[in-house]
Amino acid sequence: MNRFSALLRSLRIRSWTKNLFVFAGILFANLWNDPEAVGITALGALGFCLLSSSVYLLNDIIDRKNDISHPEKKDRPIASGALPVPAAAIAAALLAAGVLLGSYILAPTYAVILTIYFVMQLCYSLKLKHIVILDVLIIAAGFVLRAIAGVTLAIDAGYTEVSISYWLIVCTFFLAVFLAFAKRRSEVISLGEDAASHRKSLEEYSIPLLDEMMGIATAASIIGYSIYTVSERTLELVSTRLWLTIPFVTYGVFRYLYLIHIKGHGGSPDKLLLQDKPLLINILLWVVTVAAALTLYPGTATL
């Protein structure tokens, strides 16, 4: 493996799917068919992708000694030595500096969200990921910041009508909490007695505890989304039929639980998202149904 290929692997491009949350603002503001709004948001999502990749590089540098003993992470370019630490550090610095500098010039409010995200992830990599429960809440906060970033980006571009519901933020938060606890569960099972040596917080988790917290997060995410679809704000500003998408969200969450408990997956949400066909088809159907609801049954305030 040459250094360029090793660098591309370390950027974890597959994990960029997480940054689709940046599109939430324009999607639920019914601007998904506005080429300019989509283009601006896409650029913002790309910025988030590159910034998150710089965080992945820094995290892999910090964790390289522990990753060597991990059954899967030992093959990461930095842990295996395919990508030298100095090269990874330079790439991380250039990515972070370029994205943040460009953002402050083009979209100052959006740049503030990016900065908060970057600082939070640095704190996570250095210390917070070793603190039980807080480690998962930090991950969830990152997803919420992605959704908020999309809104601020649109506002910076002049789309002042774009906003995001508090209920949608609640749903995003608890869905991310669910995915993060599922990942911790997978790590506890796969690492066994060596879990604590890889990450201190894993010593404090148990399978029954994680299952209980996942159950709470699952219920909260489905209820939060359901309330969002029928809330007064959504009926007025978004769509009067968005509640038709509730079954797809419910199936997606339950399908993920099935894959965790029956199939033994859950360690890599982005990988599972792209590999499980029923889950992928369900997401595509959700997108189509959302688009139909926004187009055919717009909010009453827009009629």
Does residue 171 fall inside a structural domain? no
Give the pLDDT confidence of 210-228 residue by residue, as tens digits.
Answer: 999 999 999 999 999 999 9
For residue 1, give the CATH number of its domain: 1.10.357.140
Q: Which of 164, 197, 224 is the last residue of a domain?
A: 164
pLDDT category of residue 190 using cuts at 50, 70 and 90: confident
Report pLDDT for 175: 93
Q: Which of 156-170, 192-206, 211-225 has the lowest mean pLDDT?
A: 192-206
Report pLDDT for 65: 83
Does residue 294 fall inside a structural domain? yes
Report pLDDT for 154: 85
Q: Which of 123, 142, 164 is the last residue of a domain?
A: 164
Q: Which of 149-153, 196-200, 286-290 has the lowest mean pLDDT?
A: 196-200
Q: Which of 102, 136, 164 is the last residue of a domain?
A: 164
Report pLDDT for 256: 93
pLDDT category of residue 196 using cuts at 50, 70 and 90: low
Q: Which long-range contacts (CB under 8 A, 24 or more apart) does 20-23 make?
A: 20/45, 21/143, 21/146, 21/147, 21/150, 21/172, 22/48, 22/146, 22/147, 22/149, 22/150, 22/153, 23/150
Cβ contact 18:273 at 8 Å:
no
Round to whole Å and give the CA distance between 190 and 47: 33
* 103 and 230, same domain (yes or no): no
* 123 and 87, same domain (yes or no): yes
* 1 and 25, same domain (yes or no): yes
Does residue 173 fall inside a structural domain? no
Round to whole Å and give the CA distance between 242 and 117: 30
Tell me the average pLDDT of the chain. 88
% of the chain exceeding 90 in pLDDT: 52
Does residue 154 fall inside a structural domain? yes
* 106 and 251, same domain (yes or no): no
Give the pLDDT confidence of 67-123 residue by residue, as tens digits.
Answer: 787 777 788 889 888 889 999 999 999 999 999 999 999 899 999 999 999 999 999
Domain total for the chain? 2
% of the chain exceeding 70 in pLDDT: 96
Does residue 169 fall inside a structural domain? no
* 15 and 138, same domain (yes or no): yes
Report pLDDT for 191: 75
* 213 and 133, same domain (yes or no): no
Quick one: average pLDDT of 35-49? 91
Quick one: average pLDDT of 134-143? 94
Domain coverage including residue 75: 1-164
- DSSP, collapsed to helix, strand or coil, labels residue 63 as coil
**303 pLDDT higher than 60:** no
* 141 and 200, same domain (yes or no): no
* 114 and 148, same domain (yes or no): yes
* 156 and 201, same domain (yes or no): no
* 271 and 151, same domain (yes or no): no
Strand partners, 298: 239
* 155 and 199, same domain (yes or no): no
Does residue 170 fall inside a structural domain? no
Question: Residue 2 phi/psi, 5° resolution?
Answer: -80, 170
* 124 and 191, same domain (yes or no): no
Does residue 51 fall inside a structural domain? yes
Question: pTM for this structure?
Answer: 0.88
**302 pLDDT higher than 50:** no
Does residue 246 fall inside a structural domain? yes
